[in-house]
Amino acid sequence: MRIEPDTFAFTLLLGALAAVPYSGIDINLPALAATGAALRVSASDVGLTMSAFMLSLATAPLIYGPVSDRIGRKPVLAFGLALFIAASVSCALATSLPLLLVCRFLQGIGAAATATTFAIIRDLFDGDAARGKIGNVMVAVNVATVIAPTAGAALLAAAGWQSIYATQAAIGFMLLVVVMCRFAETAVDAPSTRLVPSAVIDSYRRVLTHPVSFGFILVGAAGGATVFAYVTGASLFFVGAVGLSPAQYGLIFSACSASVMAGAFLDGQLGRRGISSGHMLTIGLTLSAAASVVLLAMTLAGWMPTAVVVALLMAVALGFGLSVPNVMSATMQHLPDIAGAVSAAAGSIQLIAGAISSGLVAVRFDGRTALSMTAVMAASSLLALVLYVLVARPAERRLNAQTIDAGGAAIRSPTRS
């Protein structure tokens, strides 16, 4: 018996699928040093496995998206989860860093198949319903993000670094069983479109030239760059410059993740009460930009009390949680027949933007202040707000006006028999 889309079990499945890539990063963080010691390399060298995983996460969806539009979401999910399981087992059995790097790259390719989660939501839901589902999925992802490092540390202490990969394989296997036995295909059949390179290229051409979808992709990428700048810079600042312990920083990270969850949950609740997506997106982007600018001003003034900085970072995270469900919903709203390609393009561009912002923060970190973090956060969040106000929102209004005009013309000029 399949899981019905309007049930909590279906939302839980989507959240668990979407959390696979993120948990695949965070659960391994506590084991870098232990893995390096076992493989006779440094912890920084083992850190390259994170880069390998992230690289495949950024690129593989570009193939999965158009493929899922043509052969369906379920086969893509099944293939990705099977590859994730096999690669996770191989990671646990790896005896050298080069082999572990290859296995982590393959693991990322498998995990990337879960990027079709947002396409599944678009297949089944529209408007505020889609926005609410995306918000629920974000809550699940952030729960996994908070839990994963602690779970990784516990597994490391109990059974060694290999047990972390074994656990990932077990989780992947459980998800594969549910997908194969309880998940029904959601993609609309498109027998007239063949899976050929020209069709894939045409799908991405449509995404990148659609004024509304691409406008919101850019908004999402700038918003994601803000969060990646925080993720990279906060640990450098709080641990490296302020001198907090990793445990104390972990509490800050958890508080910001909780703020993202609160924002996504609040957006869903307000959406059910009739608050429009546009209003919530404006509030979320404005809140993130304002808090980021205040952080930059405080940095330049040399006044950075930890409590105030944490409160402002939580405000940025809250704004992100309020805005992302609306950005993703608007991104996929107008191209439902190629929702997989739209989701893949949005995710890849956001990861690329995040990698750039993370690199800037790390390279420009001076060892003493949070300037690199707050400067990149302020620039990225302001860019997100400007792109929405000057690019995405006007394009959406123009398209809606054209649709209304076309509908009115059709009514005035009925087809004659």
Q: What is the pLDDT of residues 11-43, one digit of tens each?
A: 899 999 988 988 887 788 778 778 888 988 887
Asked whether residue 40 is assigned to any structural domain, the reply reads yes
> What integer pLDDT is reported at residue 273 of this predicted model?
85
pLDDT for res 189: 57
Q: What is the mean pLDDT of residues 307-332?
A: 93
Judge whether 415 lies within some domain: no
Q: Is residue 329 part of a domain?
A: yes
Q: Does the pLDDT value for residue 102 go beyond 60?
A: yes
Residue 190 is assigned to a structural domain of this protein: no
Whether 176 and 200 map to the same domain: the answer is: no
Is 417 inside any structural domain? Answer: no
Tell me which residue range forms the domain holding 46: 1-183
Q: Do 9 and 108 lie in a common domain?
A: yes
The domain that contains 311 carries what CATH number? Answer: 1.20.1250.20
Answer with the one of 183, 214, 229 that is the final residue of a domain. 183
Boundary-marking domain end, from 114, 148, 183: 183
The number of folded domains in the chain is 2
State the Cα–Cα distance between residues 346 and 392, nearest whole angstrom.
Answer: 14
Is pLDDT above 90 for 178?
yes
Note the pLDDT of residue 414.
Answer: 56
Indicate whether 416 pLDDT > 60: no
